[in-house]
Amino acid sequence: MKLNLKIWRQKDANTKGQIKEYPIDGIDGDMSFLEMMDVLNEDLIAKGEEPVEFDHDCREGICGSCSLQINGEPHGPDRMVTTCQLHMRKFKDNDTIVIEPFRAKAFPVIKDLIVDRTAFDRIQQAGGYISVNTSGHTVDANAIPINKEDADDSFYAAACIGCGACVAACKNASAMLFTSAKVSQYALLPQGRIEAVERVQNMVRQMDLEGFGNCTNTGACEVECPKGISLENIARMNREYLSAKVKG
């Protein structure tokens, strides 16, 4: 397969970037998108050029490192996959593929396709935890039965990998899906209810401070989320937030 790649190149955070074209040949449908990028980089290195830098690590769709905007969509045209799980069989011979970093004011570019997503960490640090000591001296794990449906919903929210596709897809670069997933995970569990009032306020405050946009319920985040995190979580967070504000 022959492709025409248009890739965002940017030397560092302070330099202006631009799109550069790279024709590439010999791409196999069984390759993952990142393996295609590997082939390109090996070519570039052989030619004495600098390879394209992009975040990646586990290459099995769980670490949340990879973060490419491919033809205008985070993680490309396939659904329920990260970039590393996207396979080249989804493209046709002679396709042009535009590859950009995830764009948001809160995700500044570090180099080429690598962005800084520490804003997500700071949102979690603001309250994405249950304040129990890790001594292990707590009640028995089965002391508090949890309704299976709530436990499952909590799991589905907790399945978020923090890749930032929701922000990248959102026309407003809003981080509501990410934040609400964490808020929901704990809100659905009896252990998490205890700090629910402070948690949601603190996390939302931090989210706003980071400069993410406002949610306008377009639903793009849910469609592009590689883990299928549901919009219901955003509704739950809104609910939690309102009730927290009412309770003071």
Site for another protein in 179-208 (CB under 8 A): 185-186, 189, 191-192, 204-205, 207-208
CB atoms within 10 A of CB 229: 24
Select 22 or 218, whichever has its Cβ closest to another protein: 218
Residue 23 or 28 having the CB closest to another protein: 28
**3-state SS, residue 199:** helix
Q: How far apart are CA 211 and CA 98, in angstroms?
A: 26
Check: CB of residue 181 under 8 Å from CB of residue 237: no
DSSP bridge pairs for 115: 109
The identity of residue 41, as a single letter, is N
Determine which residue in the list 9, 22, 95, 232 makes contact with another protein, applying CB under 8 A: 232
Q: Chain-centre distance of CA 23, in angstroms? A: 28
Pairing between β-strand 3-9 and β-strand 95-101 as defined by DSSP bridges: parallel
For another protein, the closer of residues 23 and 63 by Cβ is 63
Helix then strand count (H, E) for the chain reads: 9, 7
**Least Cβ distance, residue 237 to another protein (angstroms):** 7
Beta bridge partners of 9: 18
Q: How many residues bind another protein (CB under 8 A)?
A: 128
Residue 78 in 3-state DSSP?
Answer: coil
Q: Segment 33-92, which members bind another protein (CB under 8 A)? A: 34-35, 38-39, 42, 45-46, 48-51, 53, 55-65, 69, 71-73, 77-78, 80-81, 85, 87, 89
Least Å distance, CB 193 to another protein, is: 10
Q: Hey, which residues between 127 and 166 contact another protein (CB under 8 A)?
A: 127-142, 144-148, 151-152, 154-155, 158-159, 161-162
**Closest distance of CB 109 from another protein, Å:** 8
Q: E strands of 92-232, at which residues?
A: 95-101, 109-111, 114-115
CB of residue 28 to another protein, shortest distance in Å: 6
Among 2, 92, 198, 214, binds another protein (CB under 8 A): 214
Question: Which position among 100, 178, 196, 229 is part of the footprint of another protein (CB under 8 A)?
Answer: 100
Q: How far is the CB of 91 from another protein (least distance, A)?
A: 14
Return the number of the residue (158 or 197) whose C-beta is nearest another protein. Answer: 158
Euclidean distance between the first and final Cα of the chain, in Å? Answer: 60
Question: Which run of H or E residues covers position 18?
Answer: strand 18-24
